Chain A
């Protein structure tokens, strides 16, 4: 029986209520989403591989269990997609690359295993920028459901577009430098980059071992918390995963008395972009909610040089075989190989020097949170950019829809600080500009996801930005 397609944009919490009440079954839900994928993904190109057999089997299992009284929790029967850097047993995992177009893993990534254990239903593999970089991949580029001529940003472009476009209820993306925040901002989602070490990375393609994080892209902060609860925690297969499960039992529903550092320099480009009123209104709303705010200026460090060198060297090492074999002409983005070739000859001494600077940045970041519960800044000051032709130079960016640095304006450091230090950060919608989403972000202390999700949740409850959905399918 066909069900109301308004369920396509419902949250996990809403859908779980409908499922528990018997108003909709997991089988009906997955058929609705599969029909939508068939009809509308020809506009978005968000899936690399749809897995209808897997989806239907898992939906049937969920339905049978729920009817038998074995309810696993709010993710039971909920359709999701996973970025195509995460291994899925028997389903091709391309890494967005022609070179790995036919790679079929014999194991599941830990996040996939945990979501299956929670009863979630895997719809398929979502587009990733090639090798988790940028927005171009072996099948082209992903389109933004808010305006089809705009990019979904990368590299979690498929998770961003599929979730925002109502083709899955939530998705799993990854961030090394901008790849969850960029698509979250461009597609108007609540996305989370968890603390480094919070979510196991076993089975996920390694781009930069000391910077990679897996995280959820959802319709709400509560959904993010529910997904994080399912996927976080130690993993015998991943020694970098800390003993840090996320024991979410609900929000406090107040942020009164929290102290936020407003990273004022990050807001300055919004004036030129025309989005300053949205951020001013967001800060006023936070003030109305009882949050205390104080301007903060970040200390100067060579953030971008340290981050870029770290990622370049680590990713060149991760893909050493590909680089040494000289397979650059097989890349979707040909320039990527040249950067890695240059990085392969960076000395260990210079890499370690960069890591020593990184230690000082980490110590500085920890000191910030001795005075503030969290930081607040724009996620994207400009809406999603127009899609560039496939033959345009560059890889479509590493994610992040913010304005580039401009002479006369102070540089924006916060994203680089976050990815160098492994602190958690989340983004949620705070308005629209040119009918495209604009998002604000909250940055927390190490393992401070509860704090920043509480902020995002309370802000979402106090505003109605989430009510609007894209109309590309009409």
Chain B
């Protein structure tokens, strides 16, 4: 993994490592400012003010989705649904 992607991955880990918390509280927790700042320096495209703003929004949205997904209480034996074999055909 190249250094810039390592930083970006670390950014997402920083932003989404909150312990499991009640669903309602997840939506209120702010996105760490440093996590967004790090991400803006690590995407390998030319950055300008507008793109920085857009990337910030994308990262914030992704982190919120991850937090909600992490907060959901799964049954312990649930397997991941993959693209094959979920339904029986008739």
Name A residues whose Cβ lies closer than 8 Å to a Cβ of B. 195-197, 209-210, 239-240, 242-244, 301-302, 305-306, 308-309, 312, 324, 326, 328-329, 334-335, 337-339, 341-343, 345-347, 350, 352-360, 362, 422, 446-447
Contact = CB atoms under 8 A, between A and B. Distances in A.
Interface in B34-63: 39, 43-46, 51, 54-55, 57-59, 61-62
B45 A359 contact: no
A338 B61 contact: no
Interface size class of B (residues with CB under 8 A): 35 or more
Contact of B43 (A242, A308, A341): A341
Contacts of A343: 62
Given A356-B74, A356-B78, A360-B78, A338 B54 contact: yes
Contacts of B55: 338, 341-342
A354 B66 CA distance: 8
A33 B75 CA distance: 56
Given A338-B51, A341-B58, A360-B74, A305 B45 contact: no
A239 B87 contact: no
Which residue among A243, A341, A342 has the maximum number of chain B CB atoms within 10 Å of its CB? A342
Name the 10 nearest CB pairs between A and B, nearest first. Answer: A355-B80, A210-B83, A244-B89, A326-B45, A342-B58, A242-B89, A446-B87, A359-B81, A358-B81, A305-B65
B71 to A, nearest CB: 8
Contacts of B5: 345
A421 to B, nearest CB: 8
Contacts of B62: 309, 312, 339, 342-343, 346
22 contacts: A195-B87, A196-B87, A209-B83, A210-B83, A305-B68, A308-B65, A309-B65, A339-B62, A341-B55, A342-B58, A343-B62, A345-B9, A346-B12, A346-B66, A347-B13, A353-B69, A358-B81, A359-B78, A359-B86, A360-B74, A362-B81, A446-B87
A244 B83 contact: no
A301 B81 CA distance: 15
A308 B39 CA distance: 20
B46 to A, nearest CB: 8
Given A302-B68, A341-B43, A353-B69, A335 B74 contact: no
Contacts of A339: 58, 61-62
Contact of B59 (A196, A239, A342, A422): A342
Nearest to B5: A345
B81 A355 contact: yes
A301 B69 CA distance: 10
A239 B58 CA distance: 33
A347 B13 CA distance: 9
Contact of B54 (A243, A335, A422): A335
A353 B65 CA distance: 12
A422 B84 CA distance: 11
A33 to B, nearest CB: 36
